[in-house]
Amino acid sequence: MNERPAFEPALVQEVATLLARAQRIAFITGAGISAESGLPTYRGVGGLYNDMTIDEGLPIEDILSGDTFRRDPALTWKYLFEIERACRGARPNAAHAIIADLQHRHEVCVITQNVDGFHVEAGSRDVIEIHGRLRELLCTQCGKRRSHRHFDAMDLPPRCMACGGILRPDVVLFGEMLPLRAVARYELALQRGFDLVFAIGTTAGFPYIYEPVATSARAGVPTIEINPDLTPLSSLVAYRFASGAGAALRAITAPDA
């Protein structure tokens, strides 16, 4: 049986009080929130790859780029298949479930770098998947979309059953622009503002992840980081839990348990 980390009681109680009083809450999440689902905290496309063995002698950033996909889609898909297999069988964890449950008492907006789809699968409704979702496939020719639970038995590269065009995952590859619809939702959410901002399991390496937390902190909005590692946000936030996401969120949402 896992024991709850020994958080400072005053820290837990203060953040729990802020949470109880907040109306509109942002959860900005990265790969670390999915670690308890069995996914490694990879540093790449939505947090789903690490130092993979590359047979072609190219950096993984080049292989998983928009340029390479257009030039040699089979090469990009070879490693997308590997990424998908590494994620096979993983499911949302307690942290995803707690965030989803909070929307019954608060207005909750989730902004995530992750492409695993776990926030939506856990039941969160207002989710901005800024990097897309790995198992949502899009035909590059006719635009038809379809979801896949796994990539087994697919051709290399996979093709659209409707028109024969090459499929691609609906994710942001290296060198590509963020999806316009997600950006529009993101900007609208920031314009409306938040009463409380959580940054969970993210290294905040992208400006669109770092800036909402930094801007909120400068404006006096309470900000909380949950991350076992120090990040560029660590010195900016008002409160910090040096732990995994599930343990900290359980403590905050049930401080007397």
In the set 96, 104, 106, 131, the catalytic residue is: 131
* Cα angle 127, 63, 112; round to 5: 10
**Token pair in block for residue 12:** 């837990």
Q: How big is the chain by its Cα radius of gyration, in Å?
A: 19
Q: Where are the beta strands (DSSP E) in 142-245?
A: 145-147, 167-171, 196-200, 223-226, 239-241
Sheet containing strand 167-171, strands side by side: 145-147, 132-139, 167-171
Query: Are 212 and 197 a contacting pair, CB within 8 Å?
Result: yes
Q: Tell me the backbone φ, ψ of residue 122, rounded to 5 degrees.
A: -75, -15
The alpha carbon of residue 255 and the mean position of all alpha carbons in its chain are separated, in whole angstroms, by 26
Is there a catalytic annotation at residue 119? no
Q: Where are the beta strands (DSSP E) in 98-155?
A: 107-112, 127-129, 132-139, 145-147
Residues catalogued as catalytic: 131
